[in-house]
Structure 1
Amino acid sequence: MLHPKLAVLIRRDGRVQLGWHSERAVIVRLPGPPDAVPKLLRLFDGTTELSQILCSASTLGFDAATTRALLEELAAAELLLPERPRGRLRTVRIHGRGPLSDVLLEGVRRIGLRAARTGEAEPARSARPDTARAARPDPARPDLVVLADALVPDPACAADLMRRRIPHLQVRIRDGHGVIGPLVLPGETSCLRCADLHRCDREPEWPRLAAQLLGRTGYASPAGVAAAAALALNELETVAHGNPSHPPATLNATLELNLDSHRLDRRRWIAHPQCDCGVMSGRVAL
């Protein structure tokens, strides 16, 4: 399909300019009515078969040879996007209460996915089943859950997602950084408990510190929230497209965006040898 970001412009001499970047714009002359060129280009939408494109182009005044030559020129200039396979991601549940959750809910819908939201309840503080259930997402099974805003996800919620084999992505703001990931595919990648165990290896006090962070959300300016949410939505778009040659960057990793300097780092989180997530039967893919 023709890249949707390209502006289609008609020059004074009838030639057509695709894009307006001084170094990357492409100018072509087509033996046909200039006013019909935008209609011709709209045929390159990624959903129309070549035979139908050629047929429709002929009704606009462009013969098959001209249309094929244009397609070849656009492909050579890398202005055509390859057909993108769709992944299995259709429904997303935003689990959280805070500014990131608000922005992500609207953003997920704009991507074209079905979205719902559950609020982050008080952390489970006892082993009573009714208390533990209160912190978990709605039982209706989504394709993916986004754990948003909470600095530390409730262990009961994370364990429930693993037990039910629901992929999940953590998104939060920590000390002036937007932190996206890891994206957990139960049985396929490292999990949130793996990350906790790695933190314990480096900081023995981590369990005590994490307990104090339960129920807290991070702070950022509206611009910082928007930047962190945009990075998370980009990951969700990547998952939704399901292109195996372009996997999500948050598999076994977090993306950490400094909201002041805008520096982006990627931190790896490999499976921890003491975590049993890798022995789960079967694998989950998106």
Structure 2
Amino acid sequence: MHPMMKPALRRAWRDRQSVQFGVTPAHAVTLGPVDTATGALMELLDGTRGLPLLREEARAMGLPDGRAEALVHRLTAAGLLDDPTAGGPAAAALRKRAAAHDRLRPDIAALSVIHPEPGGAAGAVAARRAIRVQVRGAGRVGASIAATLSAAGVGRVEVLGRRGSRSRAMWHRCGLPTEAVGERRDTAARRLVRRAAPDRPPRAAEAHDPGGGPALSLVVVAPRDGLAAYAPAPSDAEGWIATGTPHLYTGVVEATGVVGPLVLPGCTACAGCMERGQAERDPGRGRLLAQWRSGRHRTVPACDVALAAVVSGLAACHALSFLDGGAPVSTGARWEVSLPQLSWRSERITPHLDCACSAAGKTERRHTSAVGPAHDTMNGYTRSAE
């Protein structure tokens, strides 16, 4: 072990005998009592020394035997210690890919704040390389989500867009670049995904077998016309419900952005549950949906570029939280934000007794996860991460 203080957490002396690690209340930890000599030893925990050398350094400082081991144990228990050599075989393989590892260093540092065990963050980021995600939609929101997931280390990100749909706008940060104008959106989005992570695993297998490889860990439904995310048609999700494929709805409709719900088939409410619940609360809902979904709309869907950036960023965060074994608040819930006030509001989506998805009556249990190529379980639902 090569103990290292987690560099992502800024530390400062709160008083003469206690040190605070971290700035924000969400992740800050205060450790005490800490004397001056122990504080000096703490400065040597930079990942370059193993325990034998740390013992020698502690003796040279006049500290009693066992102080180095006790400090390491104490910091590890507090979730403040990392190890640049830990994380398992996948993390070791990632470190050998110098370009990929350097690009993902900020992500590893961020995850180290929420993964208490040494090497946990590196293992989590490395595990992303074996994950397969499909993004349905190549508009401003979908293209940006796909590129973000790719940049965050997800090994296989597939983009599916509406056939024949071509880009006509200069999207820059939130989607496709200027040179993509006139090109098929899905083709341009796939190129964007590749540029976001040029060190991703080879895509030769994808070209020959786009439906092969590992099972889908997540489908992100981000249609260019955000109505299909705001009021998703249950029939579109029948295949995912049947195969137990998790799916997350997100998009922008008019001047409102939505993230969620994240659907875990058989465990949380699906699009069918949502539609049935809305119909019970609003008897005219079905008639409105039939009209909104009928025919082909030739007008350009409204999609504020800044709002799309916010929605795509938040949706990508929720997706990564789930893929890393977390339980984002979009699980069984929808979050909305509207211009111009931009205040977020949430709505819990309740499983409906008459829905065939069988989520009604299921007991929610806390999510437990296994880092690395294993499996994660949430509410009795198992997601492959092989």
State if a TM-score over 0.5 links the two structures: yes
Residues of 2 paired with 1:29 and 1:214: CA distance? Answer: 71
Q: Percent identity?
A: 23
Q: Which residue of 1 aligns with 2:382?
A: 285
Deviation digits for residues 197-252 of structure 1, max 9, x if unmatched? Answer: 22333223233144149889864433322211221122123212324xxx221221
Which amino acid is the alignment partner of residue 57 of structure 1?
Answer: L
Distance of 1:223 and 1:274 partners within structure 2: 39
Query: What letter is aligned with 1:5?
Result: A
Which residue among 342, 352, 364 is the counterpart of 1:272?
352
The count of residues paired between Structure 1 and Structure 2 equals: 252
Q: Does 1:104 align with 2:109?
A: no
Shift of 1:73: 6.1
Do the aligned residues in 1 keep the contact of 2:5 with 2:80 (CA within 8 Å)?
Answer: yes
Structure 2 equivalent of residue 231 of structure 1: 314
SS of 1:169 mapped into structure 2: strand
Distance in 2, matches of 1:173 and 1:196, equals 19
Match of 1:145 among 219, 223, 237: 219
Q: Pick from 314, 324, 346: which aligns with 1:241?
A: 324
Equivalent residues of 1:172, 1:178 under 8 A apart: yes
- Classify the secondary structure of the residue corresponding to 1:272: coil
Counterpart selection for 1:166 from 245, 249, 260 = 245
Q: Are the aligned partners of 1:172 and 1:217 in contact in 2 as well (CA < 8 Å)? A: no
Structure 1 gaps, min length 5 = 10-15, 44-51, 123-137
TM alignment of 1:33-48, pairs within 5 A: 40-42=45-47
- Check whether the contact 1:91–1:113 (CA below 8 A) recurs between aligned residues: yes
Rate the CA distance shift 1:212–1:107 in 2: closer, same or farther, 3 A: same
Counterparts in 2 of 1:254 and 1:29: CA distance versus 1, 3 Å: same
Residues 274 and 72 (structure 1), Cα distance of their counterparts in 2 relative to 1, 3 Å cut: same
Alignment of 1:110-189 (within 5 A): 110-121=151-162, 139-140=211-212, 141-149=215-223, 150-151=225-226, 152=228, 153=232, 156-189=235-268
Residue 331 of structure 2, aligned match among 240, 251, 255:
251
Q: Which secondary structure does the structure 2 equivalent of 1:278 belong to?
A: coil
Instruction: Provide closer, same or farther for how the CA distance between residues 94 and 64 of structure 1 changes in structure 2, counting only shifts above 3 A.
Output: farther
- Secondary structure of 1:121's aligned partner: coil
Opposite residue 248 of structure 2, the aligned amino acid is L
Tell me how large the CA RMSD over aligned residues is. 4.3
Higher relative contact order (CA 8 A, sep 6+): 1
TM-score normalized by the length of structure 1: 0.68
Assess if the C-alpha contact under 8 Å between 1:168 and 1:185 holds in 2.
yes
Measured at CA, do residues 74 and 162 of structure 1 come closer, stay the same or move farther in structure 2, by a change above 3 Å? closer
Measure, in 1, the Cα distance between the counterparts of 2:302 and 2:259. 15
Q: Helix, strand or coil: the match of 1:40? A: coil
Quick one: which of 31, 51, 54 aligns to 2:51? 54
Alignment check: 8 A CA contact 1:167 1:284 kept: no
Unaligned stretches of 5+ residues in structure 2: 13-18, 60-64, 82-114, 164-209, 361-379
Offset, 1:96: 0.9
- Give, in angstroms, the shift of residue 191 of structure 1: 0.8
| Conserved 8 A contact 1:154-1:214 | no
* CA distances 1:82-134 after superposition (whole Å, capped 9, x unpaired): 23696998221111110111211122123322232232326xxxxxxxxxxxx
TM-score, length-scaled by structure 2? 0.52
| Residues 249 and 259, structure 2, Cα contact 8 Å, conserved in 1 | yes
| Alpha-carbon distance in structure 2 between the residues aligned to 1:2 and 1:259 | 42
**Cα distance in 1, alignment partners of residues 69 and 271 from structure 2:** 52
String of CA shifts for 1:19-51, please: whole Å, max 9, x gaps.
578xx69797764896x96661447xxxxxxxx
- For 2:344 and 2:5, the matched residues in 1 are separated by 30
Secondary structure of the 2:286 match is: coil
